[in-house]
Structure 1
Amino acid sequence: MAKRTDFPFIHRLRVRWQEVDAQQVVFNGHYLTYLDVAISEYWRAAGLPYPDGMSHLGGDVYVRQHTLSYHAPARLDDHLDIGLRCESIGTSSIKMAWAVWADHRLLLTGEAVYVYTSLETRRSHPVPETFRQHIHAHAHGEPVTTLTLGPWRDQQQAAEAVRRSVFIDEQAVPEAEEWDADDAHALHAVVRNLAGLPLATGRLITQGLPSGQARIGRLAVLRAMRGAGVGRAVLRALVEAAQAQGCTQVCMHAQTAAQRFYESEGFVAQGEVFDEVEIPHVLMRRDL
């Protein structure tokens, strides 16, 4: 009998009306959709956000086999906990065990076999060592990302990659507005996964500001990693760096869409909302 404690990753979702069949239980085929949702969250938690984490390694994963055993039905509005565990990694195969519970009831157990495939040849390919490292680290509760602080000359390539993806490509910020002279003298934070893929970045500026003041800006997280905590890690690292430099207050021009996130880290909005690069912003401050 599968136990929750046997699974290092559990994703929760709620049964929706359209997933219930004429028998008033979840249609059996929907469980594979639930698995697909959960496995995407698993890759993200393991530091291999799909598809960026895979393509960075030059590969992808494809389903080869599913085995399912149904034990009890799920019903409308049940909260389902979907557990995932990597059973083994072969030369090119990844075997995942999974199970579904509703409260204390075990609903389903299963096994999924994926094949790692080269993007270049579209054929099976040995699983990269860094892929294995990510799975091992996640299973053992070890970090799957690293955070570094440094000057622009050291962080430029990684920081540019994230900011280009988020600000220029996703939010349509004009390229000429994105790069400025502040980058050269700012302190930059970058989060990377174990394979070196840049996931998040931000910068801290103190030069040219009144004594004791600092400004955080250009905080960006790849879309596939939002909600995984890497943006919070960047923000906290920059706040700690400001404190280490003797600053007593830090401010930022925050996009209003992220205002609640910054409030959860102690920042307070001040003044009216204003447009910056045609995106609503608000001035936020935090005393240190």
Structure 2
Amino acid sequence: MSSSTFTRDQFPLVHRLRVRWAEVDAQQVVFNGHYLTYLDVAISEYWRATGLPYPDAWSALGGDIYARGHQLAYHAPARLDDWLDVGVRTARIGNSSITVEWALWNDHRLVTTGEAVYVHVDLATGRPASVPASVREQIAAHAAGAAVTRLSLGDWATWQSDAMRVREPVFVVEQQVPASEEIDDDDPLALHAVLHNIGGLPLATGRLITAGQPPGEARIGRLAVIKAMRGSGAGRQVLRALMQAARAEGAHTVHVHAQTSALPFYLAEGFEVSGTPFDEVGIPHVAMVWRTPSA
């Protein structure tokens, strides 16, 4: 492993983190064992970026991955408040094993390099199992810079099952919205968007309602992303697809009742606050609107 020649551009995922006080030892440098924690943080981001959020994507395929071995080499120390860049890539995939190479830099200095071997295990048997073809495809697509997700638009009859695989854990379980209020009369009338990974796992969803709205207006709602994919851009993909569909139907004004925690997300996409905060199903919301420049 010629790891000392690693450069950032060799890694499809580079995650930045900052050294904390608790990670520095009596020698005033990062304690050696913490570098595996840095790897663990970065590899979680790597799986998210490949469209294989851990553990959701793996358990959906009936499996999990377990660390089998690590090799590390230390090239320079890291200290309190240093910004560290951790690069991660899949070096090779065997029958049941996945070998990951990683490197960590502080600015231009190579600090640590390593190799980690994971074994894919069948959850039903507890035994090593072949790495699924869809996992191999996700990793290859990410390494090539290709899309690792697929977005579909359609009616409720087509996408109810997949949409609810996102909405139920987000709204009913996580946010404790009554199940009786989660599905409503607008669902059969709406256009639904569902974002999947290549293997077909639903990652995010949302809906567009034009029926019953004033001419040229539409409403977007039920936008949800599974917890493990938040911050990945999945929600933005769904929102932009629904906005494009709204414009295609002639809408110049789009309304949304946004949870106040999502206010920065909608503001970044061109929405404006159009009302005062209010409570909806026990969660603070605010009315927002998007208008075309000529509307």
Sequence identity (%): 63
1:12-31 aligned within 5 A: 12-31=16-35
Q: Does 1:182 align with 2:186?
A: yes
Q: Does 1:194 align with 2:207?
A: no
Q: Does 1:154 align with 2:158?
A: yes
**Structure 1 residues without counterparts, runs of 5 or longer:** none
Any idea what the Cα deviations from partners look like across 1:166-216, whole Å, max 9, x if unmatched? 000000000011111100010000000011100000000000111111000
Alpha-carbon offset, residue 7 of structure 1: 1.2
Any idea what the Cα deviations from partners look like across 1:53-85, whole Å, max 9, x if unmatched? 111111000000100000000000000000111
Q: Does 1:258 align with 2:262?
A: yes
Alpha-carbon offset, residue 121 of structure 1: 0.6
Q: Does 1:106 align with 2:110?
A: yes
Alpha-carbon offset, residue 5 of structure 1: 1.6
2:142 is aligned, of 138, 142, 150, to 138
Equivalent-residue separation in structure 2 for 1:247 and 1:24 (angstroms)? 60
Map of 1:216 onto structure 2: 220
1:182 partner letter? D
2:39 is aligned, of 28, 35, 40, to 35
1:15 partner letter? V
1:9 is aligned, of 13, 27, 30, to 13
1:81 partner letter? D
Equivalent-residue separation in structure 2 for 1:96 and 1:212 (angstroms)? 51
**Structure 2 residues without counterparts, runs of 5 or longer:** none
1:204-283 aligned within 5 A: 204-283=208-287
Equivalent-residue separation in structure 2 for 1:37 and 1:4 (angstroms)? 17
Equivalent-residue separation in structure 1 for 2:242 and 2:8 (angstroms)? 37
Cα RMSD (Å): 0.6
Equivalent-residue separation in structure 2 for 1:64 and 1:136 (angstroms)? 22
Equivalent-residue separation in structure 2 for 1:116 and 1:279 (angstroms)? 40
Number of paired residues?
288
Map of 1:287 onto structure 2: 291
Helix, strand or coil at the partner of 1:74: coil
1:28 partner letter? N
| TM-score for both structures, normalised by structure 1 | 0.99
2:199 partner letter? A
Equivalent-residue separation in structure 1 for 2:233 and 2:35 (angstroms)? 28
2:55 partner letter? P
1:190 partner letter? V
Equivalent-residue separation in structure 1 for 2:257 and 2:111 (angstroms)? 48
1:216 partner letter? I
2:50 is aligned, of 37, 46, 52, to 46
Equivalent-residue separation in structure 2 for 1:5 and 1:237 (angstroms)? 31
Alpha-carbon offset, residue 9 of structure 1: 1.0
Helix, strand or coil at the partner of 1:121: coil
Equivalent-residue separation in structure 1 for 2:214 and 2:113 (angstroms)? 61
Alpha-carbon offset, residue 271 of structure 1: 1.6
Alpha-carbon offset, residue 97 of structure 1: 0.6
Equivalent-residue separation in structure 2 for 1:169 and 1:256 (angstroms)? 19
Equivalent-residue separation in structure 1 for 2:102 and 2:16 (angstroms)? 13
Equivalent-residue separation in structure 1 for 2:275 and 2:12 (angstroms)? 45
Equivalent-residue separation in structure 2 for 1:161 and 1:69 (angstroms)? 42
| TM-score for both structures, normalised by structure 2 | 0.97
1:79 is aligned, of 47, 71, 83, to 83
Runs of 4+ in 1 over 2 A off after TM superposition: none
Equivalent-residue separation in structure 2 for 1:172 and 1:233 (angstroms)? 25
